[in-house]
Amino acid sequence: MTRNIIITGGAGFIGSHLVRLLVNKYPDYHIINVDKLTYAGNLANLSDIENYPNYTFVKADICDYDRMLEVMKMYKVDAVIHLAAESHVDRSITDPFTFARTNVMGTLTLLQAARIYWESLPEKYEGKRFHHVSTDEVYGALELTDPDGVESPFTTAASSEHHHAYGRDFFVETTKYNPHSPYSAAKASSDHFVRAYHDTYGMPVVVTNCSNNYGPYQFPEKFIPLFINNIRLHRPLPVYGRGENVRDWLYVEDHARALDLVFHKGKDADTYNIGGFNEWKNIDIVRLLVRTVDRLLGNPEGYSDSLVTFVTDRAGHDLRYAIDSRKIYRELGWEPSLQFEEGLEKTVRWYLENQQWVDDVTSGDYQKYYESMYSGR
Ligand code: NAD
Ligand code: DAU
């Protein structure tokens, strides 16, 4: 079946993996990547597929209503998979307005353009879908307690050497929203608008809420690529607080596969949580990264240990995220394909082998941001 699908934010980290997956897997689909190319968007992420006949790039701002409507009409768009967002929590603390603009108003603008276009067609919403890509951060934060209760259903353990849970509570699809950062508050608001467009106008929608992703092409302001790059440059590793915060990590290609499944098979107006059953304290990831990067660079064991620096904590720092992924496993048969140590080594190798990409994306304005973030912290 031919389908014309807009992917917003396709030049970013997760978006570029999703664009690559769909362009390769579905030659009959036309994938239209709509991206503003902020500091986080980079067309080099897609250089391998940029000339494919079923791929088009449109540089545009999702907050520009006329442009969004024009793109919908021009490409006879059947579906939207919406990833474009401001995504970095630290930036949302210093610049909340930009997050409200893109994440809330941008999502609303896109919903309205899709609604006006789809309602103008004879078949209306038939065969249409708006898939909103969201985050587990909308649910708030969990306590660290004795692990108990939810067992991973996955056929492979998340990690070869590590216990996967740091508490008895997990985020499920019905967990009440309780966002704490301007980033998660804006994402929560966008989720509500998507569901409101279903309930009010009958738009076919689906929402996914995923845990922390890692892998190639992640902008090196985020924890894992920032630390890989700092170890390589022998710079301090700024661990917030005591490094006790827990995140549930998932390899980005596994997220992209989950999005493909939910987009095609997820139930209308439903929500699917996506996560790795793979919780790690930040400090344990730092130790693993130091060991892995030193080994791959041929440094003596322990060479970079002294780079670990405990700095002032992030304001409102959520203690623990943990996703219960049993619904997507049970209903759609999805599970992660990689163990964490395997995925992390693959990621470290990619960053060490793609130094030019790292240098390109971290030159210019990013240097100023880096200095303002970490000087005097
Ligand atoms: P990213 O910051 O790497 O990429 C965001 C992309 O959106 C960039 O290409 C950027 O240019 C584009 N963009 C930003 N503002 C835009 C605008 N106004 N108009 C058009 N394009 C714009 O983000 P990511 O980490 O790939 O996250 C993608 C989505 O997935 C986001 O919605 C995020 O909330 C969600 N998510 C991310 C994670 C994670 O761990 N990174 C986990 C769960 C959910
Ligand atoms: O849970 C999903 C979310 O994961 C996504 O919605 C966000 O877009 C994505 O950025 C990510 O948010 P986090 O805040 O969890 O990711 P970040 O990489 O910024 O930080 C991961 C952990 O590492 C967090 O506990 C803060 C800590 N950290 C981060 C940085 C950048 C440090 O200790 N030092 C740092 O310098």
What digits encode the pLDDT tens for the residues 251-269?
Answer: 999 999 999 999 999 999 9
Q: Label residue 142 exposed, middle or buried (CB < 10 Å: 0-12, 13-18, 19+).
A: buried
Cα(84) to ligand 1 centroid in Å equals 4
Does ligand 2 come within 6 angstroms of the Cβ of 245?
Answer: yes
Cα(210) to ligand 1 centroid in Å equals 13
What band does 363 get if pLDDT is binned at 50, 70 and 90?
A: confident
What band does 149 get if pLDDT is binned at 50, 70 and 90?
A: low
Does ligand 2 come within 6 angstroms of the Cβ of 87?
Answer: yes
Are 254 and 75 in contact, with CB atoms under 8 Å apart?
no
Q: What is the pLDDT of residues 291-317, one digit of tens each?
A: 999 999 999 999 999 999 999 999 999
Are 111 and 8 in contact, with CB atoms under 8 Å apart?
no
**Alpha carbon 128 to chain centroid, angstroms:** 24
Q: What is the pLDDT of residues 44-74, one digit of tens each?
A: 999 999 999 999 999 999 999 999 999 999 9
Question: Which pTM value belongs to this model?
Answer: 0.98
Q: How far apart are CA 230 and CA 220, in angstroms?
A: 9
Ramachandran bin of 259, using left for φ above 0, alpha for ψ from -120 to 50, beta for the remaining angles: alpha
Q: Label residue 212 exposed, middle or buried (CB < 10 Å: 0-12, 13-18, 19+).
A: buried
The DSSP secondary-structure symbol of 170 reads: -
3-class SS of residue 133: strand
What band does 160 get if pLDDT is binned at 50, 70 and 90?
A: confident
Determine which helix (DSSP H) or strand (DSSP E) holds 237, and give its type and residue range.
strand 237-240
Interior CA angle at 330 toward 329 and 332, to 5°? 65
Q: What is the pLDDT of residues 171-197, one digit of tens each?
A: 999 999 999 999 999 999 999 999 999
217 is a catalytic site residue: no
The atom number, within ligand 2, closest to the CA of 223 reads 18
Which residue's structure tokens are 């302001």? 221
